[in-house]
């Protein structure tokens, strides 16, 4: 009650700020406005911040503050006005805070999502028998599934317009990993995105400046107002971008655990159900996999190191003589391969390309073993401007960071814990993660050869390798990384990587 009262006082204060210019005789109030039907959703476009803003939005803030349900047209009007610059940030921040405390009903979330999608350009593709599919992850440490998955899906007869993002904090972004490849272009014009998807079958790039501009502005406000954890706002942010890809099917990896955005299985389940339900209602066949992020995925964490492991995952075993990759990369852990195949299998079933998950997984595994996805990966790199000769030279190196230091096990036994959050924090301290959105990354630093829970280790054996810019950074990281590992006399109980799968189902208010 005290918190709600505080929020109410804050909202009233912001409302007072909105009308203060008129009360104080602001000389610009009532001037410099464009009137008429095309002058904005309320018929007037304030030209300066000190002018009186349309009372309509204030009434919508008040309505949501009181827990009322907004009409779809009202939600659409809010998004359109904010995107056009007709709503000041302080009023939109008040609205976001009201949503954070009061939530949104499913119809409101749907309206918000579609309005955000329609705030900019939507990808259009020609008629083609190959379904348009994608995968989204809520993020984690070592989460590199998108890299081997995209070319695998292309080889399975899909088109994959994978519009990805960058990392913030300890979670790594797909675009950051791809940026570590010499010459690779992640910022492409819309026409080129379509060309690569149609020609190669997959593309991995960032959203264009004209795609979902409403989300960019809203997320920036959420990030500085403490409203990022709002599930309705998360759902709208994720799905507005995915719906802008014009997909036929989507698989969403919702992570939970110590290094995940959702710390508990219960919260991850709530988010997964909301995402799957709305996406299906919007015409995209969607499933959500709830996966554990207490331990890093795979054996590497850090941008270039994760590219190397992804290529190792794509390389048939035993490696062909033509490949110079797997001789130098850390072996890909089975969890990376398993989750990659699981995502592919679900999409095969969702699009009617396989009769069951077992059959679909075998189909995906056979395709991966054929080596065709590795060829497709190289084809995608070339299409997006990569310098393949420089890329191959870089792959042939054991490491590209100046200093590599092993973390030695203090005793013998079995790894019982490898804390993904600590690993992520170490990478950020090494320079491989962002403290702010403007941080400059060192793509070569990170951690590889990570031992996983359940694996045996002898005293003095390496638990992991640290890749650092200098020796002092490596030593500091080594001290910090020790806290991530526990060793026990007996192996720990196995924890399934995929905790649950969520199909579309009815839900209440969000």
> Cα separations (Å) of 31 from 34, 35, 52, 214, 376?
9, 11, 10, 27, 59
> Euclidean distance between the first and final Cα of the chain, in Å?
20
312 is written with which tokens?
A: 């190792």
Cβ burial 257-284 (10 Å sphere, 16+ → b, else e): bbbbbbeebebbbbbbbbbbbbbbebeb
Catalytic position from the list 222, 269, 287, 467: 222
Q: Over the range 220-234, which residues count as b (16 or more CB within 10 Å of their CB) and which as e?
A: ebbeebebbebbbbb
Residue 341, both tokens = 């195949």
Answer for the pair 508, 105: CB distance below 8 angstroms, yes or no.
no
Which one from 65, 110, 130, 135 is the annotated catalytic residue?
135
- Annotated active-site residue 76? The verdict is no
Query: Token digits for 358?
Result: 């077992």
Q: Which of 113, 138, 164, 174 is catalytic?
A: 174
174 labelled catalytic: yes
User: Other CB atoms closer than 10 Å to residue 35's CB: what's the count?
Assistant: 10
Catalytic status, residue 134:
yes
Among candidate residues 146, 164, 194, 237, the one labeled active-site is 237
Q: Which of 76, 136, 308, 346 is catalytic?
A: 136
Nearest to 157 by CA among 249, 238, 246: 249
Contact 156, 364 (CB under 8 A): yes
Rounded distance between C-alpha atoms, residue 270 and residue 340, angstroms: 23
Q: Where do the DSSP E strands lie in 269-331?
A: 285-292
Instruction: With beta carbons less than 8 A apart as the criterion, state whether 165 and 380 touch.
Output: no
Active site annotation includes 135: yes
Active site residue 488: no
Clarify whether 242 is annotated catalytic.
yes
- CA–CA dist 73, 85 (Å, integer): 18
* Closest of 113, 323, 335 to residue 218, by C-alpha: 113
Residue 368 CA to its chain's centroid (Å): 24
Give the active site residue among 83, 113, 119, 137.
137
| Phi, psi dihedrals of residue 229, rounded to the nearest 5° | -70, 0
CA–CA gap between residue 497 and residue 292 (Å, rounded) = 5
Instruction: Tell me, yes or no, if 327 is annotated catalytic.
Output: no
Q: Is 216 a catalytic residue?
A: no
Catalytic residue among 117, 242, 337, 361: 242
The answer to whether residues 369 and 337 touch, using CB atoms and an 8 Å cutoff, is no
Going from the C-alpha of 377 to that of each of 129, 319, 368, 380, 453, the distances in angstroms are 21, 16, 12, 5, 31
Which of 102, 110, 241, 428 is flagged as catalytic? 241
CA distance 184 to 386: 4
- Count the alpha carbons within 13 Å of 397 in the hemisphere toward its beta carbon: 14
Residue 461 annotated in active site:
no
Which residues are annotated as catalytic?
Answer: 134-137, 174, 222, 237, 241-242
């Amino acid at each position: 009650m005290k918190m709600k009262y505080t929020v109410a006082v804050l909202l009233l204060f912001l409302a007072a700020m909105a009308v203060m210019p008129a009360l104080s005789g602001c000389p610009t109030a009532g001037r410099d406005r464009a009137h008429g039907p095309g002058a904005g959703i309320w018929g007037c476009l304030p030209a300066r911040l000190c002018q009186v803003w349309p009372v309509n939005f204030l009434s919508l803030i008040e309505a949501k503050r009181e827990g009322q349900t907004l009409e779809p047209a009202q939600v659409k009007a809010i998004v359109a006005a904010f995107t056009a610059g007709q709503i000041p940030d302080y009023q939109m921040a008040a609205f976001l805070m009201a949503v954070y405390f009061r939530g949104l009903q499913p119809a409101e979330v749907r309206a918000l999502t579609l309005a955000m999608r329609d705030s900019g350009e939507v990808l259009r593709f020609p008629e083609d028998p190959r379904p348009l599919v994608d995968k989204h992850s809520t993020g984690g440490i070592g989460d590199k599934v998108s890299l081997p998955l995209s070319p695998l899906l292309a080889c399975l007869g899909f088109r994959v317009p994978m519009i990805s993002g960058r990392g913030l904090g300890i979670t790594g972004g797909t675009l950051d990993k791809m940026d570590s490849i010499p010459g690779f272009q992640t910022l492409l014009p819309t026409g080129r995105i379509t060309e690569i998807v149609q020609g190669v079958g997959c593309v991995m790039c960032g959203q264009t400046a004209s795609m979902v501009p409403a989300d960019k502005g809203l997320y920036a406000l959420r990030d500085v107002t403490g409203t990022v954890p709002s599930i309705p706002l998360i759902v709208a942010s994720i799905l507005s971008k995915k719906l802008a890809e014009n997909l036929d099917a989507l698989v969403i990896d919702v992570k939970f655990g110590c290094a995940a955005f959702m710390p508990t299985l219960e919260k991850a389940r709530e988010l997964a159900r909301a995402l799957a339900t709305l996406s299906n209602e919007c015409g995209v066949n969607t499933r959500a996999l709830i996966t554990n992020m207490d331990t890093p995925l795979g054996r590497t964490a850090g941008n270039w190191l994760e590219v190397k492991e992804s290529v190792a995952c794509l390389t048939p075993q035993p490696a062909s003589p033509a490949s110079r990759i797997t001789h130098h990369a850390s072996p890909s852990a089975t969890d990376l391969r398993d989750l990659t195949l699981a995502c592919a299998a679900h999409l095969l079933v969702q699009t009617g390309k396989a009769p069951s998950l077992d059959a679909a997984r075998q189909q995906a595994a056979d395709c991966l073993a054929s080596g065709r996805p590795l060829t497709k990966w190289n084809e995608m790199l070339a299409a997006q401007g990569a310098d393949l000769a420089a890329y191959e030279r870089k792959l042939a190196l054991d490491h590209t960071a100046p200093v590599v230091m092993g973390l030695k096990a203090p005793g013998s036994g079995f790894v019982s814990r490898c804390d993904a959050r600590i690993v992520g924090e170490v990478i950020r301290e090494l320079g491989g993660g962002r403290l702010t959105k403007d941080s400059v990354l060192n793509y070569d630093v990170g951690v590889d050869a990570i031992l996983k829970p359940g694996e045996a280790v002898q005293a003095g054996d390496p638990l992991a390798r640290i890749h650092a810019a200098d020796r002092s950074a490596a030593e500091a990281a080594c001290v910090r990384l020790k806290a991530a590992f526990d060793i026990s006399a007996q192996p720990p109980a196995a924890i399934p990587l995929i905790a649950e799968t969520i199909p579309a189902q009815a839900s209440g208010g969000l």
